[in-house]
Amino acid sequence: MSKEREKKIAAFLNKAGWGRAARAPLAGDASTRAYERLSGPEGPAVLMNAPAGPDGPPLEGSRKAYSAIAHLAEDCRPFVAVGEHLRALGLSAPRLLAHDMEAGLLLLEDLGDDLYGKAIETGKAGDGTRLDELYRAAIDALLLLHQASTPAALPLPGGSTYKVPSYDDAALAIETELLTDWYIPVKKGTALAAEEKDIYRGLWKKLFPKAVIGAPVLVLRDYHSPNLLWLGEREGAARAGMLDYQDAQAGSRAYDLVSLLQDARKDVPEAREEEMLAYYIDRAGKADTSFDEEAFRAAYAVLGAQRNAKIMGIFVRLWRRDGKPGYLAHLPRVSAYLERDLRHPVLSEMKAWLDTHVPAALRKEILQAE
């Protein structure tokens, strides 16, 4: 961290009354954000250090950068706006204690360390609650979110608003190209021909309408074990603490459920996935008599395949471009989830295309860092 950035942080913390707090780094993620836990007179808090980032260079054949097409957050305003909206619904996003959005600095409520990922490894949360109850609480939170209206704009401190982007076909499509741009060339040892990429894009174009289920809902987009905390002392859906939702968009209600039940970082056995999928479907159907289970399951499969294709490409990119080979350990899991999705009839043409260009046996082969 530069000296200038450290000065800004010190000034921010002094103004917020936390200038003398002890600071300790927290584990980050694949993004450029950094986090610290603060120990102060009023208890712990979390500092988010998220300076605004540029869009990056335009993609080949486009005037826009990848982040612009995918509607990824470029500053901390979306995190603030979405977090306050979630809290207004009674969900457990961290309280905003202080902010300097221009500088990209937020002071947040500390929701603790009882991550879903730890619970998945042991089969229960730190307070002894069994894993199925954690999943049900996280699904209850999604059901509550999906039953709420999805505002076109969310308020921000100071009176301004944040316009919620749409998780549109362009955003979904650019993400699927991570598979053809990064994963398949490494697996095959050669790049795909342009005409084959065009066929791949055309298959997704036909599939995306199948992912539309009713009115758009707020999609948090990374709703999985690294970003969920167990808050057993709270009640109902509020027991699922939420993190990392700054890229939220208005989209299909199937997306976040796929993110949870096809967790890229932790194994979700197929039996548990089906049990929890049925739990969501049962409660969604009771809340809305027009809910169509068959259409929902098709949307779930399409978005599962879309998300897993994206993640497989991202993990290879993190290795080859960013020098982070550790993500390769997750590839077999994500690839196995993709195989589950491809069993749905709605994806038969996509499965045939993949089987031609990166056959199932090749998809199962483990990539190792050179």
d(C-alpha 189, C-alpha 186), whole Å: 5
**Per this entry, what is the length of the chain?**
370
Confidence of residue 171 (pLDDT cuts 50, 70, 90): very high
| Token pair listed for 189 | 């040892």
How much is the average pLDDT of 172-183? 97
Confidence of residue 182 (pLDDT cuts 50, 70, 90): very high
User: pTM score, two decimals?
Assistant: 0.94
How much is the average pLDDT of 335-348? 98
φ and ψ of 123, to 5 deg: 90, 0
CATH code for residues 3-364: 3.90.1200.10
Q: What is the pLDDT of residues 193-245, one digit of tens each?
A: 999 999 999 999 999 999 999 999 999 999 999 999 999 999 999 999 999 99
d(C-alpha 75, C-alpha 68), whole Å: 12
The residues, any chain, with a CB within 8 Å of residue 323's CB and separated by 6 or more, are none
Three-state SS at 35 = strand
pLDDT at 32: 72
| Token pair listed for 58 | 């335009």
Q: What is the pLDDT of residues 21-50, one digit of tens each?
A: 999 999 755 567 899 999 987 789 999 999
pLDDT at 105: 97
Answer whether residue 9 shows pLDDT above 80.
Answer: yes
pLDDT at 55: 58
Confidence of residue 177 (pLDDT cuts 50, 70, 90): very high
Q: Is residue 324 classed exposed, middle or buried when 0-12, 13-18 and 19+ CB atoms within 10 A define those classes? A: middle
Residue 19: C-alpha distances to residues 11, 15, 16, 41, 147 (Å) = 8, 8, 7, 11, 41
Q: What is the pLDDT of residues 253-311, one digit of tens each?
A: 999 999 999 999 999 999 999 999 999 999 999 999 999 999 999 999 999 999 999 99
C-alpha angle with apex 66: 248 to 298, nearest 5 degrees? Answer: 55
Selection from 351, 313, 355 nearest residue 175 by Cα: 313
Answer whether residue 66 shows pLDDT above 90.
Answer: no
d(C-alpha 104, C-alpha 118), whole Å: 29
Per-domain residue ranges of the chain: 3-364
d(C-alpha 227, C-alpha 116), whole Å: 8
| Token pair listed for 304 | 């599962």
How much is the average pLDDT of 2-14? 94
